[in-house]
Amino acid sequence: MRRFFKLLYKMLQKNEKLTSPTIQKDIVDCFSKEIIKSICNEIGKDVFAIIVDESSDVSKNEQMAIVLRYVDRLGIVKERFIEIVHVLDTSSLTLKAATDTVFSNNNLSMTQVRAQGYDGASNTSDAFNGLKSLILSKKSYANYIHCFAHQLQLVVVAVAKKHDDVNEFFEQLALVVTVVCGSCKRKDMIQEMQKERVAAEIGIGETEIGKGLNQEISFVRAGDTR
């Protein structure tokens, strides 16, 4: 039996390299749980602010990101991302249910929330049916603050549109995306040209190769905040 385990150990040393995607995901998941646990332990029973934003990823799945803002015991203001949640839709009721689930899983309470920050989307900041109003109806002291970064972004967009060269650039960009995406033949032609260019650059050493590099992506129509 001892000889068998010695042989098994030698085999594992050669074969066990933890390169399986499933094993790697499990390891990352364990790390994330420990980090979130340490953040929640640091908050304890103190108050904090919640920052929520929702958007779709490259595979067109709706997601909601949750960030907590709090002051630690040394008086340092911290913002910590705790989770990104897949949601079936972005209605205020769905976002509220997802937020409650995250709080429940991490031993946090809505009574600890003293502020909430979102962008100007109606599903979050609407005065009657938004996520803001759903939380305020239960916790009147959870003050709403419009995300300053989003406000600044809108200001930059407004100023940029007044600049003729910048405005023309984005107009031309929108036309390129419309023309390319409107025809499968043109899209295939662009993809083939890109493959040839990448292959040529790899051949002369100007482009690095490796896992996750040089991936094909789809053209996305430009938006004011993207």
User: Which pLDDT belongs to residue 125?
Assistant: 75
- Of residues 87 and 11, the one with the higher pLDDT is 87
β partners of residue 67:
51, 81
Architecture of domain 2-146: 2-Layer Sandwich (3.30)
Q: ∠ at Cα 25 (5, 89), nearest 5°? A: 150
| Cα gap 171→175, rounded to integer Å | 6
**Digit-coded pLDDT (tens) for 91-101:** 888 888 888 88
Domain assignments of the chain as residue spans, ordered by start: 2-146, 163-226
Q: How many CB atoms lie under 10 A from the CB of residue 44?
A: 10
Longest dimension (CA), the chain: 80
CB neighbour list of residue 130: distance below 8 Å, 6 or more residues apart: 92, 118, 122, 123, 124
In the predicted structure, residue 129 carries a pLDDT above the cut 80: no
Backbone angles phi, psi at 68, to 5 degrees: -110, 135
CB neighbour list of residue 204: distance below 8 Å, 6 or more residues apart: none
**Digit-coded pLDDT (tens) for 63-107:** 888 899 999 888 899 999 988 888 888 788 888 888 888 888 888
**Digit-coded pLDDT (tens) for 132-179:** 888 888 777 888 888 777 778 888 888 888 888 888 888 888 888 888
Q: What is the mean pLDDT of residues 201-223?
A: 71
Q: Assign 8 a pLDDT band (cuts: 50, 70, 90).
A: low
Q: What is the mean pLDDT of residues 2-28?
A: 69
Q: Assign 192 a pLDDT band (cuts: 50, 70, 90).
A: confident
| Cα gap 54→56, rounded to integer Å | 7
Q: Assign 13 a pLDDT band (cuts: 50, 70, 90).
A: low
> Residue 107, SS3?
coil
